[in-house]
Amino acid sequence: MATAEKVKLVDSSGKKVVSVGTNGSVNALDVSLVDGDGNNIDEFNESQYTTITTDDANGDIEYVGWAAPGSGDLTDEALWRIAKVTYTSGGNPIAKWADGVATFTKVFDDKLTYTYT
């Protein structure tokens, strides 16, 4: 798969961390993130997990939750990995994990109660 750099995830300093390979479309459901060496970063692979996103008032993604396939209706159980997405002034997304961990131990319904680091 050729990696088209249409979206970048950056750290809090604005430094590029990963590129998004989109198979030709940023709106594609099968999005792969790769690091600078071209290695897939599976944590964000939507085809591998059940994925939920919520949007803010501007229509931008605000929270993303990942769980094992088939977990879509179980948002009140502690089996989710949750990231809060904020945006730099340039519009680049910054993702931070609930309570600073990327483990499948969070309740998606409780996303507002976690600290994101």
Confidence (pTM): 0.59
Q: For the chain, how many structural domains are there in total?
A: 2
Q: Which domain holds residue 75?
A: 49-117
User: Are residues 81 and 33 both part of a single domain?
Assistant: no
User: Are residues 75 and 97 both part of a single domain?
Assistant: yes
> What would the pLDDT profile of 2-19 be if each residue is shown by its tens digit?
444 445 555 556 555 555
User: Are residues 53 and 38 both part of a single domain?
Assistant: no
User: Are residues 7 and 57 both part of a single domain?
Assistant: no
User: Are residues 114 and 58 both part of a single domain?
Assistant: yes
Nearest Cα to 8, choosing from 80, 79, 97, 85?
85
> What would the pLDDT profile of 57-66 be if each residue is shown by its tens digit?
887 889 999 8
3-state helix, strand, coil in the chain (%, to 5): 10, 40, 55
Structure-block tokens of residue 4: 């088209």
